[in-house]
Amino acid sequence: MTPRIWSIVSCLLICLISPLQAEQNFTISDQTTNIRLRQEALQWTPESITIIKKSDLESSYFRDLEDIQGFAPGVIIDNLFSTPQGAGISMRGVGSSQNSKGFEPAVALSIDGVYVGTHASQMQVLFDIEQIEIVRGPQMTYRGIPNTGGSINIVRSKPTGQYDVDVRASFGDYDHRELDAVINFPIADAIAGKVAFSWKDEGGDYLRNITNGRGENSEDRLAISGSLLWQLSDQVTAQYTYDNEDDAGDTPGLLNISTQTDLVCINAVSNETCGSSIGLAVPQTISFERTAQNFSNKRRYKGDHHTLRIDFEWAGRTLTSITGFRNTEEKMDTDLDATQVDFYSISSEQDYEQFSQEFRLTEQYSENLHYALGFYYLSSQYDLFQEEFFILNALGNAGLGASHDAADVQWLTSSTESTYFSIFAHVDYVLDDQWTVDFGSRVSIVEKDFNHRPSGVRINKSYLPSPVNISKNKDWTEWTFSAGISYQVDEEAMIYFRFSEGFRPGGFNENAVSVESATSYGSETTDNWELGMKSEWFNDKLRLNMAYYKIDLDNKQEQFIALVAPGRLESVIDNVATIETNGFELEFEAIPIENLYLRGTYNHMGADYKTYLVPDLANPGTELNLKGLRPNRAPKDTYFFSALYSFDFASGIINIYAGYRFSDDYQTNPKILVAKVNNHTTWDFSIDYMWRDWTFRLFSQNVKNKRYLQNVVNLTDADVVPLVQGATNATGLVTFTEYNRPRYTGFELIYRPDLSGLFN
């Protein structure tokens, strides 16, 4: 046996001499939610909501948000290489994955009520979490944050006012180490404190670089949090939380899957910079665990976040104020060509500041009437400085741009100031013991100021500015509505129907290479219809919920190549598409025997572009309709099943967890054949031994070592420079991707001592 296995066996043997501990008795809990701004039983809330509570997260090794995507039907969560802790999240086929902070996420993620306004930092570490609410479909009249697909609301634990400690440590493959801790303590009779930190370090050796021998995908992340909870009076409670994040790992490594029509391949010798000829999406290196990048892949991410929540209750009314401030700084180097040649690499610096303020007033006005009124304000400032290496020379040699030396660097600066303001209201009225109706409305006003200087050139250390400085302003106003009706059949069944609208604000193209391609694009909107049933069976031993949904996504924002001036092609963004989605979903919880807990979800979805109008470059003045393409991250079928079994063993408890997840084919770029993620299954497994204050866990994620791509990007020449008059437009410059993490096996140790009598 290895020393690691000997240490685990020794711990288990020591446990045998301790007093007997009772086995876990599972129950289907009566969870509550305040998604509609009042506490109500989750099971009888007429919305498609999945709550993942703390005990669910502790049932096995769940580290990042990606690990729990199967718990809710129709939810896909992929890593994004282009932004630290980035996530591409899709619900019921509605999602987004842009790296630009000028794009608001289609699925809104909030932490303790504060909206995370970019795709960065959405891949949250699942520690010190009280519960996660996954709401499918927009809730625009309950809260202020914009979204078209739904929301994920992460609620962290509040300071307890007692002395207690929660420590988690783990280690595993690829020099992976983690240490997390939460410490609660009283400060005064009315003030409680909490300190938490999370540290992660990994060598990343599962992705080796064959060009320079280095290991890619290393991680070095530290997050620290402090929180104070102050009970000012019987009516007023205030909580302040400060968070600091520092990530000094690698930019995730990319793999080259370029096709013969990409410029990086056209003049290649023996196709050494093209994707493998073995098959679609097989990398140039013929391995998912080898990259050939020769440029720096370093990144640095720093975040400072402040949250202040105040709740004031009087005369049956509750006034809630949530103030949030988020400040992030990013610096990232990326070898975009993913090859051993100097073709296209970038270095970018991004600073983002966000301030938000939300006020909500709720009241149970009468026995039958509940109302909520709200005001939401969000302002953000985003600054980008980016340098692009080698590409000017490559395009010049191909006759697609002006001539440049190999050392010439293209650079751009871009800045966007955004102000978002909304007022919303929602009313619920109980008609009788069985029927309830609700209605809500919201008006949102968005204004953005855009300042952009594209296509400057750096020669040695001298910066030559772009001849143009673009400055534009645009505002959008959107009204959104929601309405619903529910019928309580009896104490164990409910049927509901609801309609809701969502929107995602418009903006500007921060990668525009001229004034002509820097035009604004409008807001996306969704109309969502849902018919659902919620039920409980066999004396609360089975919970079964089903829903049919239909979604119309209009004015879809898409990036494409257009003739912006005579003889000049550029990449632009505009609202050129509509998507129609129809689907059926199911989720269940079951306790067939006292110590066995089962959970599962299923989603069947049909999603297609109904219109997708782009210019026909071969026939100027005409359009192509790309209807029939499948939207990103919209698999036809997905299902998930997990089992947790608990039994006494010697002087402790053994818990065995197994999870199975299947996803049908889906696209990460609808216009590229190689961007299809093939259907795949994922198995997770863990076994715990709980003894006194300790939990010992062996776990393995992705047990069968399934490998699949998560994102595919095809960069075109028109994304980089205005193509010179008469140039022959290449299909693309380079196509690259990233693959999921391989099987990960490790050991976790959890320590939760009882400190209740320590300071008495």
Each residue of 600-616: pLDDT tens digit? 999 999 999 999 999 88
Q: Is there a domain that residue 258 lies in? A: yes
pLDDT score of 19: 39
Q: Are strands 94-96 and 86-91 parallel, antiparallel or unpaired?
A: antiparallel
pLDDT score of 12: 39
- Residues 614, 615, 621, 624, CA torsion sign: negative
**Cβ–Cβ < 8 Å for 106, 96:** yes
pLDDT digits (tens, 9 = 90+) for 344-394: 999 999 999 999 999 999 999 999 999 999 999 999 999 999 999 999 998
Highest-confidence segment of 55-59, 273-277, 296-300, 303-307: 303-307
pLDDT score of 273: 84
**Cβ–Cβ < 8 Å for 345, 390:** yes
Mean pLDDT of 303-309: 97
Cα 422-303-389 angle, rounded to 5 deg = 100
> How many C-beta atoms lie closer than 10 Å to residue 681's C-beta?
12
Average the pLDDT over each of 309-323, 474-488, 556-570 and give the range with the smallest value: 556-570
pLDDT score of 414: 93
> How many C-beta atoms lie closer than 10 Å to residue 494's C-beta?
22
Sequential DSSP letters for 452-514:
EEEEEEEETTEEEPPS--EEEEEEEEEEEEEEEEEEEEETTEEEEEEEEEEEE--EE-TT-SS
pLDDT digits (tens, 9 = 90+) for 638-667: 999 999 999 999 889 999 999 999 999 999
Mean pLDDT of 627-645: 95
CA 557 – CA 520 distance, rounded (Å): 11
Q: Is there a domain that residue 409 lies in? A: no
Q: Is there a domain that residue 319 lies in? A: yes
- Residues paired with 303 in a beta bridge: 245, 328
Kindly tell me if the per-residue pLDDT of 567 is higher than 90. no
pLDDT digits (tens, 9 = 90+) for 259-281: 888 888 876 655 678 888 787 77
- Find the helix or strand (DSSP H, E) in which 571 lies: strand 568-593
Strand, coil or helix: what is 522? Answer: coil
Instruction: Please write down the HEC assignment for all residues of 333-370.
Output: EEECCCCCCCCCEEEEEEEEEEEEEEEEEEEECCCCEE
Mean pLDDT of 314-323: 94
Q: Are strands 164-172 and 150-156 parallel, antiparallel or unpaired?
A: unpaired
pLDDT digits (tens, 9 = 90+) for 199-258: 999 887 889 999 988 888 888 999 999 999 999 999 999 999 999 999 988 888 999 998
Average the pLDDT over each of 155-159, 446-450, 729-733 and give the range with the smallest value: 729-733
pLDDT score of 18: 39
**Cβ–Cβ < 8 Å for 444, 418:** no
Q: Is there a domain that residue 413 lies in? A: no
**Residue keyed to tokens 């404190």:** 193
The backbone torsions φ and ψ at residue 443, rounded to the nearest 5 degrees and listed phi first, read -115, 135
Domain that holds residue 82: 3-403+427-751
Q: Is there a domain that residue 758 lies in? A: no
Q: Is there a domain that residue 412 lies in? A: no
pLDDT digits (tens, 9 = 90+) for 125-147: 888 999 999 999 988 888 878 89
pLDDT band, very low/low/confident/very high, at 402 (cuts 50, 70, 90): confident
Kindly tell me if the per-residue pLDDT of 165 is higher than 90. yes
CATH of the domain at 703: 2.40.170.20
Q: Which of 666, 662, 702 is nearest to 680 (CA)?
A: 662
pLDDT score of 523: 93
Mean pLDDT score of the chain, rounded to an integer? Answer: 89
**Residue 323 CB partners (closer than 8 Å, separation 6+):** 306, 307, 308, 309, 356, 357, 358
Question: Burial code of 293-316, b = ≥16 C-beta within 10 A, e = fewer?
Answer: bbbebebebbbebebbbbebeeee
> How many C-beta atoms lie closer than 10 Å to residue 517's C-beta?
24
Q: Which of 293, 386, 382 is nearest to 340 (CA)?
A: 293
pLDDT digits (tens, 9 = 90+) for 69-111: 899 999 999 888 777 888 889 999 999 887 778 788 999 999 9
**Residue 487 CB partners (closer than 8 Å, separation 6+):** 434, 435, 494, 495, 496
Q: Are strands 520-521 and 507-508 parallel, antiparallel or unpaired?
A: antiparallel
CA 510 – CA 412 distance, rounded (Å): 9
CA 643 – CA 685 distance, rounded (Å): 10
The two structure tokens encoding residue 483: 């309405």
**Residue 212 CB partners (closer than 8 Å, separation 6+):** 294
pLDDT band, very low/low/confident/very high, at 22 (cuts 50, 70, 90): very low
- Tally of structural domains, the chain: 1
Q: Which of 279, 127, 207 is nearest to 741 (CA)?
A: 207
> DSSP class of residue 125?
B
